[in-house]
Structure 1
Amino acid sequence: MTDPADDHFLPHRLQLSSFEGQDTSALAAINNSQPLNPAQSYLIGLSSAASRKTMSSFLNIVAKMLGFSALQSCAWGSLRRHHIRGLLEMLSASGRAPATINTYLSALKGTAREAWMMKLMDTESYQRIQAVRAVRGSRLARGRALAVGEIHALFRCCEEDSACRGPRDAAMLAVMLGCGLRRSEVTDLDYASILLQEQALLVRGKGNKERLAFMPESVWRRIHIWTATIRGEQDGPLFTRIRAGDSVTYERMTPQAVYHILSERRTQSGIDECAPHDLRRTFASMMLDNGEDLITVRDAMGHASVTTTQKYDRRGDERLRRAADKLNF
């Protein structure tokens, strides 16, 4: 039995016409003095630009599945429980992982809540949507932890570079490996983020939460080489762009630039494929391998939950590999 719905706003059959969404800014509606719809109101309430970008993309995809051109034109207030369940089934059939589908569900529930708050959805319909259960199941964790030899190769590649980029890249990669920072956190660092007395970095992470990232001696040394011999002590971004001709600027790098730099250094050093987040996974695995407890690693990484921290542990793969190698037929 389906839920009662004002279906004249929504197609009776969901349309899986396109899964390619484009990022839109919910703030543009405010700047243009346009009324917000529930999805835009939900996006504005998210804590970070990265979250807004991700959820905006997901809601654009959903709007197109429902037969609308974009999230701004979708009649979110007419969503009902059977629409949500149909969307989840279609996302599952498209091969998306359970965790990804549940992120879609979270965005839809948040949008439904805004529709209810704006009196565009009745209480019973809203409650039925909130009662939709998350999809069960899991997939193998993506990414990997770097081996010690690969880490040495990366730093050797940077140290052999006599240009200004060498010390900068070495310091940046050291912060990611030795402090477990996300690439967006790295690019947000300023020179003022260095706390000399604590030998730490003041990091602003997801949810606008600040934490201290204490630097191992090797990280501290590379930061000092970059700032004392090349960058200088001026205010501004800690890691800056370097233009052609080895000209150091005080322009902030982008997260995409971090991705490009690691890709370039990885190729030069001859190690296997890896992404910036793999450096964060390496940090977590090394901390746990050194005997640190999950609570300590969670706090160091800026996670809200230990469950999230556990997903970064890549020691289990190696343990299973060693166990398999002992089998002899």
Structure 2
Amino acid sequence: MSEKSSNFEIIEAEDRNFSLGSSGINENALKNPAFVYLTSLGSKFSRTGMKNALLRFAKFFGFQNLETVPWERINVASINLYKTQLLKEGRSPNTINTYLAAIRGVIKAAWQIGLISDHEKLILATVKPVRGSRKYSGRALSQIESSKLISFCRAKNEAIDIRDIAIISLGIGCGLRRNELSELKLDDINFTDQSIRVIGKGNKERIVCGSEIVFIRLKEWINIRSGGGCPEVFVRIGKHGDLRLNRKLSPMAIFKMLQKRAQAVGLEKFTPHDLRRTFATRMLDVGADISIVKEAMGHSSINTTQRYDRRGLEKVREYSRSIQV
């Protein structure tokens, strides 16, 4: 591996630590606006996603990696050409705008390190985002589906099952993201007032609360997990049921666990983020004001929270039929 490529290797794997101090970054990397932009992102998941977006842009113009792109030569025509290609591919407006946001991030970094002028930055900022919307992806689990998952795990009731019940319960009952589940610390849990301190996207702290049953299930797992090892709540479990207290459960491991559980129960596939959608949908379904749901989920905008509403067409029909004409 070349020295140049190794500078970007630190911005890719979910299970690696993002560490500038030990990466051996050379001076050229610090002059690369893509690297400067990616290292400015607060979340390793954001870095991975935006790195992939930039790689897609680079490869569209014939570059195989981010190191060889002459980022300072980006112009309005090249961005619009790329945007047109994404539209031809049928990409959703949200996806295209995310890709454009990554490019804008590199443009800003290029300006910050003196590769482009104020005038060039202003011109590039005139590229408009794509308008429109698509039906949001993902789904909410029904009460029957979540009950099936919990019952299936409870039937075996081994350490791994108790752990997975706690993860599913926190996802549905508190709306935690998979990386928040992975990073959750023992010290972040307050059983007295049934609350959890969460550090979410953008390094934003919030306090989440849950029902009594959620904390009962969480306590069951912690009693098995006990103290020691890593500070995280959820740890790996070996094939023979041995707890690996020094190895936290990664976000990818949580994703794969839920896929495995869904298949075992015969449910339609769902993702960890669908548990979060389920949380929002059920809160709205019981009458919670959307501003309350926004706070519970740690969103900056109610518009973001609205995308998590999966009450669906049946709810629309229910309310529509009650209208007197």
Q: TM class by shorter-chain length?
A: 0.7 to 0.9
Does the CA contact (< 8 Å) of 2:10 and 2:23 recur in 1? no
CA shift at 1:195, angstroms?
1.3
Hey, what does 1:94 align to over in structure 2? 89
Q: Secondary structure at the match of 1:31?
A: coil
Distance 1:214 1:233 in 2: 23
The normalised TM-score by structure 1 is 0.87
The more displaced of 37-46 and 24-33 is 24-33
CA shift at 1:325, angstroms?
11
Which 4+ residue blocks in structure 1 deviate beyond 3 angstroms?
A: 23-30, 320-326
Q: Secondary structure at the match of 1:86?
A: helix
Hey, what does 2:154 align to over in structure 1? 159
Instruction: State yes or no: 1:317 paired with 2:313.
Output: yes
Tell me which of 45, 57, 74 is aligned to 1:79: 74
The normalised TM-score by structure 2 is 0.88
Tell me which of 204, 223, 232 is aligned to 2:199: 204
CA shift at 1:81, angstroms?
1.1
Does the CA contact (< 8 Å) of 1:63 and 1:69 recur in 2? yes
Hey, what does 1:272 align to over in structure 2? 268
Hey, what does 2:26 align to over in structure 1? 33
Distance 2:314 2:186 in 1: 38
* Aligned residue type for 2:46: S
CA shift at 1:321, angstroms?
6.0
Distance 1:215 1:234 in 2: 25
Encode CA deviations 1:220-256: one digit per residue, 9 max, x unaligned: 110111112x111346221111102111121201111
Instruction: State yes or no: 1:233 paired with 2:195.
Output: no
Distance 1:321 1:137 in 2: 25
Distance 1:324 1:303 in 2: 29
Write the mapping of 1:254-265 to structure 2, written as runs, cut at 5 A.
Answer: 254-265=250-261
For structure 1, the 5+ residue unaligned runs are 1-22
Does the CA contact (< 8 Å) of 2:255 and 2:271 recur in 1? yes
Query: May I ask how many residue pairs the two structures share in their alignment?
Result: 303
Hey, what does 1:16 align to over in structure 2? none
CA shift at 1:49, angstroms?
0.6
The more displaced of 317-326 and 250-259 is 317-326
Encode CA deviations 1:66-111: one digit per residue, 9 max, x unaligned: 2222111111111111111111111111221111110111111111
Root-mean-square deviation (CA, aligned residues, Å) is 2.1
Distance 1:273 1:32 in 2: 41
* Aligned residue type for 1:63: A
1:103–1:225 CA distance, 2 compared to 1 (3 A): same
Does the CA contact (< 8 Å) of 1:24 and 1:53 recur in 2? no
* Aligned residue type for 1:183: R
Distance 1:60 1:198 in 2: 46
Does the CA contact (< 8 Å) of 2:191 and 2:215 recur in 1? no
The more displaced of 43-52 and 311-320 is 311-320
The more displaced of 95-104 and 25-34 is 25-34
Distance 2:51 2:163 in 1: 34
Tell me which of 114, 117, 122 is aligned to 1:119: 114
Tell me which of 53, 58, 61 is aligned to 1:58: 53
Q: Secondary structure at the match of 2:156?
A: coil
Encode CA deviations 1:4-36: one digit per residue, 9 max, x unaligned: xxxxxxxxxxxxxxxxxxx84357796232322
Q: Secondary structure at the match of 2:42?
A: coil
